[in-house]
Chain A
């Protein structure tokens, strides 16, 4: 063993043996160092400072979460496994071939941050890896760093209004048995109905399973507890544990804890405990888009488009002069954005196309 007695803290922090002890918790090195401290009790201060330096640099340079790493490794495995399509990771598909799908589903989720790792979150991380490894399609990641809500359209036509500081990860195409998305932060979902392919939202320590009836869910991050609130319809909620996820994946039924209108669930990850109760204040789950009724009675079309623009954060381009005599009477509710646009266009005999983040309406007037 080297004569560590004359080491400075910064020298000790760079010593391979010392590093194996502090960073990798190597048991053999631990014995050596505990013994050394026993023989050199006056050097406790040295060891403490060196440890502190090492731990602090370790923490300070660490800028990425396990979940993000797992996601990127998944991306890599797909790219080198198939040798194609690697340039398309960040493409977002807007092909609107979904609108044969009828009703839709509303989901509002407010999930925890990805850095809080306790027991349940560790399990979650494992489950993420597990679930990610089964998805064969390239993943797309959308991060909303702006201060406004951002619209994301999934391949099945479901629309997601992603709130600021939130991130959603989803496959480019939903090829498998399930439609699975990963959420960090807050988002408002309108899920296209497809009972054959359940829609799953994995958010922090909680997973939510949706078949296709109309409903609304809200889960708030509050002291690391995750909350789900249902307004209408049915939804199944379960913790991100191995057993629960496997059981839920096994069939298309809604198992686990099924929530019906005006019920809520509180999930305490540390105790792995779900508590179900009635909603005390239904206003709790309202985002601007939820308060929007989308009920129109002889409304000028410019007002209708303005409402949609505001709710979804998209730009709708149309010729106001040509369409000045167009009025809409319709009761739109929880269908995805493009389904709403499609219904409006059908009513008015107009057409629409999607260009980047804008929707262009072409009409000959009414």
Chain B
């Protein structure tokens, strides 16, 4: 009945509704470290995957997330949050930008202009290939997504992985709504042309609803 490309149950277990997250956050604010860990558990995948559009250095990302979460925990009493995942994603972006500046020379990281130019495809792809055998289609889409310019990739992530609407994305990326629409339009067009129609049809034929 369902299209099962790989196991999607990771997210099925986790309802990422803002109300649930907000409740955990409020308990965290009151000093409950266990709630904070649960909150972090629910947001971790989102933060990690978001960060991969900036760098392919997995260990660097993990350390950045640790720094960020510890920082938020320490400042919890003074932080006011409305939309939990958006707040954490924004904080994640700031954290990454800060770390890039700080580690400019120390780490073999691309600088921000270069990140816009280059795709993370090669390194991430090799990392992934080591661990998982993907179907041809998955590889194709993964490649297509990773080949998108970074801003388009970020917009696609926020829209389809995170489920934000265009207004939220515009606010998050600090551009106007029309720019978001343009970014998404270009990205979707690129993805459509990257995936041959025959594959879509082939897949469609397999799926029965």
A175 to B48 Cα, complex, angstroms? 30
**Shortest Cβ gap from B99 to chain A (Å):** 15
B209 x A14 contact (CB < 8 A):
no
A86 x B3 contact (CB < 8 A):
no
A65 to B191 Cα, complex, angstroms? 25
Q: Does B132 interact with chain A (Cβ within 8 Å)?
A: yes
If A14-B163, A56-B137 touch, does A113 touch B59 (CB 8 Å cutoff)?
no
Q: Does B5 interact with chain A (Cβ within 8 Å)?
A: yes
Total contacting residues, chain B, CB less than 8 A: 57
Choice from A57, A80, A90, A113 contacting B161 with Cβ under 8 Å: A57
> Which residues of chain A have C-beta atoms less than 8 A from B204's C-beta?
45, 48-49, 52
> Which residues of chain B have C-beta atoms less than 8 A from A37's C-beta?
209
A72 x B66 contact (CB < 8 A):
yes
Q: Interface on chain B toward A: helix, strand, loop, or mixed SS? A: helix
Closest to A13 in B: B160
Q: Does B172 interact with chain A (Cβ within 8 Å)?
A: no
Choice from B33, B49, B63, B70 contacting A63 with Cβ under 8 Å: B49
| B residues 25-66 in Cβ contact with A at 8 Å | 33-34, 36-37, 40-41, 44-45, 48-49, 52, 58-59, 62-63, 65-66
Q: List 28 A-B contacts (CB under 8 A).
A: A16-B163, A25-B12, A45-B204, A47-B209, A48-B207, A52-B200, A53-B160, A55-B3, A57-B160, A57-B161, A59-B6, A59-B8, A60-B138, A62-B10, A63-B49, A64-B44, A68-B62, A69-B44, A72-B44, A73-B37, A76-B40, A76-B69, A76-B70, A80-B36, A80-B37, A80-B69, A113-B131, A165-B130
| Minimum-distance CB pairs A-B, first 4 | A115-B132, A57-B160, A56-B141, A60-B142
B residues neighboring A (CB under 8 Å) = 2-3, 5-8, 10-12, 15, 33-34, 36-37, 40-41, 44-45, 48-49, 52, 58-59, 62-63, 65-66, 69-70, 73, 124, 127-128, 130-132, 137-138, 141-142, 145-146, 156-157, 159-161, 163, 165, 184, 188, 191, 200, 203-204, 207, 209
